[in-house]
Amino acid sequence: MNFMRQNPNQFNTLVLPYTSDAWIVEADTKIGYEVSFTRHFYQPPQLRILAQISADILALEQETEGLLGEIVKGKAK
């Protein structure tokens, strides 16, 4: 289907006033459109509060305390 034959005024009234150097390549025109589901439907996860993040970091530091010393001692043997 030819876009210009099907909608002769649509291109002239909706596109050309905003982009005067626009054109249509008839061989590249397609029927249909693409919906970005991510943009319309994505719900980002709620961010954790700073206190929770700090508590996790402190817990990891306590868990790994002394690990470097054990690694170094193990290589020295």
* 29 contact partners, CB below 8 Å, separation of at least 6: 1, 2, 3
pLDDT at residue number 75: 61
Can you say whether residue 54 is alpha, beta or left, with left for phi > 0 and alpha for psi between -120 and 50 degrees?
alpha
What pLDDT band is residue 77 in, cutting at 50, 70 and 90? very low
**What stretches of 1-77 show up as alpha helix (H) in DSSP?**
3-6, 10-14, 37-41, 50-64, 67-76
Q: Are 2 and 26 in contact (CB under 8 A)?
A: yes
**Average per-residue pLDDT in the chain?**
81
Closest to 7 measured CA to CA, from 28, 21, 27, 24: 24
